[in-house]
Structure 1
Amino acid sequence: MGGFLGFGNYEKEGKGVGKNEREKKRFFQFFDLFFRKLGRLVQLNLLYILFCIPVVTIGPATAAMTKILREYTLERPVFLYSDFWDAFKENFKQGFAVSVFQGIVIALIYSAVIYYVSMTVKSVWFLLLLGFIGLIGLILLFASYYVYVMMVSVQLNVFQLIRNSILLAFAGARTNILTFLFSTGLLAVSVVFFPISIPLLLLLTFSTSTFISVFNSWQYIYKHLIQPYYEQTGLPNPYEPKDDEADDTPFEDSI
């Protein structure tokens, strides 16, 4: 069935959107959710680290964490451990494939940066190439904010996930910059101040940085993929707010 620019089937199971406080700005809504879910975010962070220990499970573990954080964003009830485990199993193959793709891309970009930096003494043209590689890396980083959210929300193959995530990286460019500043900033602080930051890494870094990206990216996935599909097919939208909650939807970008 058709999806974003004709790609994808969006009939993955989901429930109705939970009620959000009326007229609340997204910035304050995020922090309201963050502090209400703080204890759960700590548990989720520890659970994520545990599931990432084999390394090859990083992708599936990221998909599982993303599923939980999407539910928090929509204010749905979550059984943390059982829902995490179910999402881990359901998205294992795609999560692994996407993580391998991301690992290869990171290795290629890193190698290219090292090479072009060493060649800048010979020609300034390599500075332009270095800038181009940096731009490509930034776009792919922005795309990573969407790929796992789509994975746990809609039925797409790996190619479609990557393709649509790149398109959404442009659609949500302004919000992506804010996501980058806050989520990457948190990761950077955790790395720069290591080992002092070990408690932060263990308790909040991964769940919080991912929560920021999920909270900001969902509005674009809903607007450009999910909502158009159900409007075109006439099928009931499992993510649509109830009639009396229509004004409470968190999907409108007010950032």
Structure 2
Amino acid sequence: MAGIFGLFDFTKEGKGVYADEPPRSAFAMFFVLLGRKFWKLISINLMYLLFSLPILILSMFAANYFLAITVPVLTVDNLAQVLEQAGFAEFLQEGVTIEEFAATQMLTLFITLGVMITGLSLIVSGPVHAGVTYILRNYSREEHAFVWMDFKDHARRNFRQSLLAGLFSLLVTIVFVFNLAFYSQSAFVGNPYLRTILFSVMLILFIFWTIMQMYLYPMMVTFNLSLRQLYKNAFLFTFMRLPLNLLILIASLFIVFVLPLGLVLLGYGISVLLSILWVALLAFAVNLLMTNLFVYRAMDKYMIQRLNQTEDAGAELDDPALATSSDDETHDEATEEDEEKDAASSEGLVRSPNRAPN
């Protein structure tokens, strides 16, 4: 597929890197990759949007429902009343009522919340998400990727596991939303202090769950781990790097929610157009590039490098010239243990010695 001016050429190999190029920080590398892979990111975003369109529509309907049960006072009529009291009516175009304006703002909120829900990987098409994650993970470690071929291969390769992960994420997200709605209503929990405590606990747990989604799919396309092991590792990474994870989550919220919503709320035709173009061409790909870049560095430090060190140490002990008689029994026991189960680091992370990282 030759593409148009190279924009949709899914078979063209990306630009390489020099072997002696000094390592950059994750923050600097993000902007380097953003410039280097800009047109590829547009292709990836369009592909992600196309194949995730049914899920994105589902997210928008879910946003409508979630907002209704968590913030029941936020209705078109109430919003119209607030806007009228604030004096917005005199700024409206001729023929546009305050109720129509309020309805438009509510629709905008539902759409951007739907984009946010999918952008934060809470409601996704698992195979589509896995295929795109593989491409952007390769970009994160400065390796080329064939956009269409790698997307198709790894969406198919991780189809069952990613589909189950997507369904499980949907189920858990629904449970969290219902709990948040339940504990926010005085009719269900009369004590205001207890209600605040329970609501805060559920909100914090929901934030942790959202952070876990950032780690799930990069590990899925890199290691041969069960779904249970993937969630265990994602849980551990959430707390091991909590301050950085919170910063990444805030940045993700800005990319997939605050920026597009803010542009629309400015009310100018050009700002609305920019918001649409941002979501259609870049928002999902830029967000996933950022999360994959930071997540892969954590995976490399705590999983891949230590797994390689374990394998190298085992290879040295296998060499008769290097192994001493005093170490033979210990090595045999360690080798048998490695063959029986996945190795785990001191942090408790599960690795996959049965298959080298992809």
TM-aligned CA distance change 1:57 to 1:142, over 3 Å = closer
* Structure 1 residue 117 corresponds to structure 2 residue 184: yes
Corresponding letter in the other structure for 1:159 = R
Q: Residues 224-243 of structure 1 correspond to what in structure 2 (within 5 A)?
A: 224-234=302-312
* Structure 1 residue 144 corresponds to structure 2 residue 222: no
Please tell me whether Structure 1 or Structure 2 has the larger radius of gyration of its CA atoms.
Answer: 2
Corresponding letter in the other structure for 1:223 = K
* Structure 1 residue 75 corresponds to structure 2 residue 153: no
In structure 1, what is the Cα distance between the partners aligned to 2:135 and 2:173?
26
Question: TM-score normalised to the size of structure 1?
Answer: 0.80
In structure 2, what is the Cα distance between the partners aligned to 1:127 and 1:53?
37
Q: Residues 2-21 of structure 1 correspond to what in structure 2 (within 5 A)?
A: 19=19, 21=21
Structure of higher RCO (CA pairs closer than 8 Å, 6+ residues apart)? 1
Of 253, 261, 265 in structure 2, the residue corresponding to residue 192 of structure 1 is 261
Alpha-carbon contact 1:172-1:217 (below 8 Å) kept: no
In structure 2, what is the Cα distance between the partners aligned to 1:90 and 1:106?
25
In structure 1, what is the Cα distance between the partners aligned to 2:126 and 2:23?
36
Alpha-carbon contact 1:18-1:76 (below 8 Å) kept: no
TM-aligned CA distance change 1:19 to 1:104, over 3 Å = farther
TM-aligned CA distance change 1:22 to 1:186, over 3 Å = same
1:189, CA displacement in angstroms? 2.4
Of 158, 177, 184 in structure 1, the residue corresponding to residue 246 of structure 2 is 177
In structure 1, what is the Cα distance between the partners aligned to 2:237 and 2:297?
11
Say what the alpha-carbon RMSD is for the aligned residues: 2.2
* Structure 1 residue 215 corresponds to structure 2 residue 283: no
Alignment-derived partner of residue 160 in structure 2: 93
1:34-69: CA deviations, max 9, x gaps?
111110000000111112134397111111111000
Alpha-carbon contact 1:18-1:75 (below 8 Å) kept: no
Question: TM-score normalised to the size of structure 2?
Answer: 0.58
Of 223, 232, 236 in structure 2, the residue corresponding to residue 167 of structure 1 is 236
1:136-193: CA deviations, max 9, x gaps?
1111111111000000000001111111111111112122122112112111125525
Alpha-carbon contact 2:30-2:293 (below 8 Å) kept: yes
| Between 190-199 and 157-166, the greater mean CA deviation after superposition | 190-199
Alpha-carbon contact 2:260-2:278 (below 8 Å) kept: no
In structure 2, what is the Cα distance between the partners aligned to 1:32 and 1:194?
25
Of 198, 206, 213 in structure 2, the residue corresponding to residue 129 of structure 1 is 198
1:75, CA displacement in angstroms? 1.2
TM-aligned CA distance change 1:18 to 1:47, over 3 Å = farther
Alignment-derived partner of residue 39 in structure 1: 39
Alignment-derived partner of residue 127 in structure 2: 60
1:92-113: CA deviations, max 9, x gaps?
1111111111101110111011
In structure 2, what is the Cα distance between the partners aligned to 1:105 and 1:208?
26
Alignment-derived partner of residue 240 in structure 1: none
| Between 75-84 and 55-64, the greater mean CA deviation after superposition | 55-64
Count residues in correspondence: 220
In structure 2, what is the Cα distance between the partners aligned to 1:31 and 1:191?
20
In structure 1, what is the Cα distance between the partners aligned to 2:219 and 2:23?
27
TM-aligned CA distance change 1:139 to 1:115, over 3 Å = same
| Between 18-27 and 80-89, the greater mean CA deviation after superposition | 18-27
* Structure 1 residue 205 corresponds to structure 2 residue 283: yes
Alpha-carbon contact 1:51-1:57 (below 8 Å) kept: no
In structure 1, what is the Cα distance between the partners aligned to 2:180 and 2:25?
40
Corresponding letter in the other structure for 2:169 = Q
